[in-house]
Every structure is written in C-alpha cells, then in structure tokens.
Amino acid sequence: MVNKYYPNLASPITIKGVTFKNRIFGAPMSNPEMDPDCNMRKEEIAFHENRARGGLASVAIGLGIVDAVGRTHTKEVKLYDVMSLPSLKEAANAMHRHNCHAVMELAHGGKYANARGHGNAEDTAIGPNDEINPDGLPVRSMTEEDIYRVADCFAKGAKLVKDAGFDMVLIHGGHGWLLGQFSSPTMNHRTDRWGGSLENRMRFPLLVIEKVREAVGPNYPIEFRMSGAEYIEGGYTIEEGIEQAKMLDGKVDIIHVSAGIHEDMEVFTLTHPSMFVDHGCNVYLAAEIKKHVKTPVATLGGLNDPDMMEEIIASGKADIVELARQSICDPYFPEKAFSGNAADITRCCRCYTCFYNYLTNRTFCCAFNPVVGNELENKHAFPPTTPKKVIVVGGGPGGMEAAVTAANRGHTVTLYEKNDRLGGQLLSEQYIPFKQDMYRFVKVLEGRLKKAGVDVRLNTCITAEQAAAEHPDVIISAIGAKPIVPPIPGIDSEKVVGLEALHQETPALGQRVVILGGGLVGSECAIYLDGLGKDVTIVEMKDDWAADAYFMHKNAMIRAMRGSNIKIHVNTKAKAVTDAGLVCETSEGEVTFEADSILLAAGMKSDRETANSFYNAAPRVFETGDVIRPGRVVEAVTTGYYRALDI
C-alpha cells in the first residue's frame, strides 16, 4: 500500500533479500560511553532502540573496531573480541522489536589510532606510510602481511556481527579512516601496488570487501561508506569519487556517499553540516555517483525535512536517505511524517550540542530533546500523579516544554506570557536564514501546547500575588533572563538597540552596525547582518570572540565569515556611546567605532528579583531555564521537561 503523504520515502526497498520498510536509514552513531570492557550497556542500547522505535528502517551503531591496533579512543565496540557478542545480540534484538534492521559499522582508525590513550600505546599506529600523525605519534607503514591481516580482521568482525543477529554491515571507507587513507591521494604516498594510481589505492578497500563477502556469504547485505569528495586541498573531487564508486559497483549492496575528512576541523562542519550551509549540501555527490552505478546509493548531510527527503528519492538523486542528528532530535519523525503529522516534527537545528556533549562529557544530548541520554529511565512509565492545578510563568522554550509535559501527565495547566508571542529569545531567530530550524521548534511547541490542552494567555504579565490568587498547586517559574546593559555613558541612546531589533523581517538597524558583545549570539548576529549587506563591527572585551561557542560551531562560523567584511576587535572595552558611535578602550588607546546602530549583545542575567517574588505563591514552586542561570536552549528545554515530571 502506498503512503499518501510520502509515497516514495515510505516505500520499501529490498537489498540482498532483506526488506527495509522505508527509505530512511539511521546513519552510524557511536557510543560516547560503555562499560569497562567496551560492551554496550543497557543505557546505550536504550538510546539506539529509541531511534528504532520511531520508524527508521534501520539503525547503524558506529565504530565497531575490527583490530586492537585500530582503536582511536576508549569507547568503541571491540569486534575483535568474541565477548562483545552478548551485548551486540541484545542490541540487535532491541532493534528487531520495532521491525527495524540492525546495522554495525566496521572501522579501523589507521594512522589516527592510539591518539586518545586507550591503553594500547605500545602498539604503534599503522597506515599507508611511515609518518608522524597530527597527535605527534609514530605511524608505521603497513606491510603486505599487515594489509592481509587487517583485511581478515574486517572479515572476522563482520562474521561476529552477523552471528550477533545484525542484518547488515557497513564498511567505513570514508572520512579519513584507514580504508579512506589508502584511497586518498593526499594520504597515500606509497609506490608499491597499494599506492599511486586509483586502481592501486582502491586495492586495499576492495580486498576488504572481498574478505567480508567471503565471511558473511552471498546473501548478506554489505554497505560501503565513502567520501564522494574529500573537500581538502589536494584531495580528490567528485570526478574521482565517481571512479571509486564504479569500482565498488556490484561488489557491495549499498554505496553510502558521504563527504570530507574528519581530521580537518573546517571540513568536519561539511561532513556533519553546520547551520551555515544548506540542508542536503552533500546530496549532489550521491546524485552524480548514482548516474554511473547500478548499486543502490544512499545520501546524507544535514537532512531534517521529510519533504526534501521525498524529493531526493522521487527525483532519483538517491535510493536511500540516511541521517543521525535528526534521529536524535526527534526519533519519531518517520512515524510522524508517514502518519500525516509532519507539523509535529522537531527539526534538528545543527547546533552541535550533541557532538559537543559526546566529545567532552561523553553523553548523548540534544538541545531540543530532553529524553536523549536518558532513554532507559524514560522507557518505563513515570509514577502516576494526582492531577494538579499548574501555572507556568513564561512562554520561552523551557516554559513551553514544561507546560506540555505537565499537561500530558494529566495536570490542568495555564501558561502566562507577558508578550504577544511565545518563544522567548528564540523569536530572534525567525528571520535569520541559518536559524530557521530553531524558530520552527517554537511553532512545534505551540502545536503541542494546543494539542495538550494548555490554556495559553498572551499579553499577560502575571504577578506573584495574582498567581497566588488562582490557588495553584504548583507554579513553574520560567521567566527567563534580562539583557546585561553595560553602565556606560550614552547607553540609553536611541541608536542602542537590543535583540528585539531582529524580531522583524527587515532589522531596525542602520547601515553601520557595531555589535557590543562578541560571544556566540553577537557573532551569529554579525554573520546574519553581514549577509544583509550591513557594515558590521564586533567589539568584545575578552581576548577571544565566540568563546562560549561549541568548538565545532566556532569552526563553522570561521568558515562562514571567510570572505565577509566583518571586523572583530577583541580585548576592547566599551567606554561610552556618542553621536559618532561607540567609544572603546583598546591596547593601542581610545578608539571610536562609527555606528548608525549599536546592537546590544553583552549577555544575559537572571531576573532574580521577579523569580524570588514567586517563592511562596503556591505550595510548590519550581524554576526552570534562564531564571536559574542563563544558558542554552538545551538547558531550558531539559529542565522544563524534568521539572514537570517532578510534579
């Protein structure tokens, strides 16, 4: 039966006798934490199972390492250890409960192995050449014996995965991992039969495929991930990517076309697209390759819109779409799309909250999804609660999430918002092209408020006394924060404006704009205003701009600013606002930055005075979001969700 909403995207595809229920596959996602033996815990399995539950046709677990010498960090599944079998079997069973196929990525770090101190430092990393890797560690050129041994390791790992009940293996041949190191003209400098010409550079990946096929048999699907183009200086382009794909054609069952090299930090923001590039920016690579091969082709790259995914399949650009971050942000989006409820999909805004927490805190996390990282505890119903009367003060993302969650648990909820619109600080994102997905999140929450039956009262600045007069059982204070206004002469000038100047399609700003505050918010505003043709200057008193940004996001901003006219002045302190502009103190003396408008982006501070007034206005009073401590959307949404569960 054809799905009436997304007939192509929802259509099944059969590969080597395995039928995938739709064309949306879960791209590989590795585990930020596991047990001391590198087996997946129930927490990691619950995370992947939650993706499966939402309607993906398959879920791939990333970075199954096939060789001890190939490990790049301490939390990769050891496919060279038979003791990994029990947790892998449990993971496969978890996927199958939801008619979702389980896929495991087979990988080897090559010259980047041993870089994160996983305890096998006595084993020198191996790769195409003798060299010192970017971490300063020696790399030994692989001998012929090494090459055949590692190919056998891939085969043994694939056999272990098949024995565990997984339905497909994905061989990682892109992103600068070992097989990609051999296929890359910039990383493979060998002069023997394993280097030089494209035929020689592809010899090792093709050997691995041959060995894996022997291990799993003729009727077991093999997916191969490649970079359609490397995106680095001297790296191969789509023209060679096409030739590589031709050599893979017929030898694997899915050609999975990604892009780039992980170890280049700017290219990382294209491999995993930032908000500053178009959704689907890498789809053209798959579309070009598909013209030259008969093997089904998968594409990916910042996809979050089912309409775009439908068009990709319908137009023949690819046979399959794969995604990872969108399935974190809203694991249930396939079911929502196919059931006609696409308006309720929370779209990934590509803010890198997930990557940052994965790499630094070793946790799963999402700015918009408070359940991520806590799937195991949320898998079981929370204790029943007696219905209560709840007042939520503040209609930003934290207050909206709290109201929806409380109402869905059976409470009677009224939300008061002093402005004429919901959304809080996210309203500034409405007209910024690269922030559209954050504004869409506001609209999704509005729809959920209505569906949950929350009584929303706009243009209502409720006081503690008025709230108490309603005799609520619980008050959730989500009143947010106030802008920091530097106490300098002239700060009350008409030319000084706040972020509300961006709450309209044409910002209420002059041609020459000085942004007072070069943190994340100010820097993003600069990129937006530069795109509108404004003359933009950032003034930041610290010694670095966007110091509060995730490092991946800052790399993306650096790339987005390249070629712009944005001027950034750090170690620069504002002293006064004059008719001419902003007077500042610098290391070279006093300077006036001429300005028609000065955009205030100096940070936020909690509105503690208002928050404190609510302390005794109800038997229980909770606080959430910026009223506790100004932060990111992720903190507001997460605390709003869990405060509501505390009722």
Residue-level pLDDT at 261 = 92
Instruction: Report the interhelical angle of 85-96 vs 42-53 (nearest 10°).
Output: 20
pLDDT tens digits along 378-432 = 876 677 789 999 999 999 999 999 999 999 999 999 999 999 999 998 988 899 9
Distance CA(127)–CA(218), nearest Å, equals 30
Cβ atoms of 56 and 330 closer than 8 Å: no
Cβ atoms of 615 and 465 closer than 8 Å: no
Residue-level pLDDT at 119 = 47
Instruction: Report the interhelical angle of 238-248 vs 203-216 (nearest 10°).
Output: 30
Confidence of residue 121 (pLDDT cuts 50, 70, 90): very low
Beginning with the edge strand found earlier in the chain, give each strand of the sheet holding 581-586 in spatial order: 573-577, 581-586, 589-594
pLDDT tens digits along 259-285 = 999 888 889 999 999 999 999 999 999
Neighbours of 478 (CB within 10 A): 33
Q: What percent of the chain has pLDDT over 90?
A: 81
Confidence of residue 4 (pLDDT cuts 50, 70, 90): very high
Can you list the domains of the chain with their CATH numbers? 13-375 (3.20.20.70), 383-483+606-645 (3.40.50.720), 496-602 (3.50.50.60)
pLDDT tens digits along 420-452 = 999 998 988 899 999 999 999 999 999 999 999
Confidence of residue 51 (pLDDT cuts 50, 70, 90): very high
Burial string for 273-299 (b: 16+ CB within 10 Å, else e) reads: bbbbbebbbbbbbbbbbbeebebbbbb
Torsion of CA 580, 581, 582, 583, to 10 degrees: -10
Distance CA(41)–CA(55), nearest Å, equals 23
Number of helices and strands (H, E) in the chain?
21, 29
Residues 6+ apart with CB under 8 A from 165: 88, 89, 92, 93, 96, 102
pTM of the predicted structure, to 2 decimals: 0.87
Cβ atoms of 352 and 274 closer than 8 Å: yes
Q: Is pLDDT at 24 greater than 80 in this prediction?
A: yes
Residue-level pLDDT at 72 = 86
Confidence of residue 646 (pLDDT cuts 50, 70, 90): confident
Q: Mean pLDDT throughout 481-494?
A: 94
Mean pLDDT of the chain: 93
Distance CA(349)–CA(367), nearest Å, equals 9
Looking at per-residue pLDDT, the higher value among 635 and 151 belongs to 151
E strands in 371-441: 389-393, 412-416
Cβ atoms of 148 and 205 closer than 8 Å: no
Residue-level pLDDT at 122 = 53
Lowest mean pLDDT among 29-38, 207-216, 228-237, 558-567: 29-38
Residue in 226, 224, 216 with CA at minimum distance from that of residue 171: 224
Beginning with the edge strand found earlier in the chain, give each strand of the sheet holding 131-132 in spatial order: 125-127, 138-141, 131-132
Distance CA(454)–CA(319), nearest Å, equals 42
**How far apart, in Å, are the Cα atoms of 471 and each of 388, 464, 474, 620, 622?**
11, 11, 9, 11, 15
* 3-class secondary-structure state, position 183: helix
* 3-class secondary-structure state, position 598: strand
Residue-level pLDDT at 465 = 96
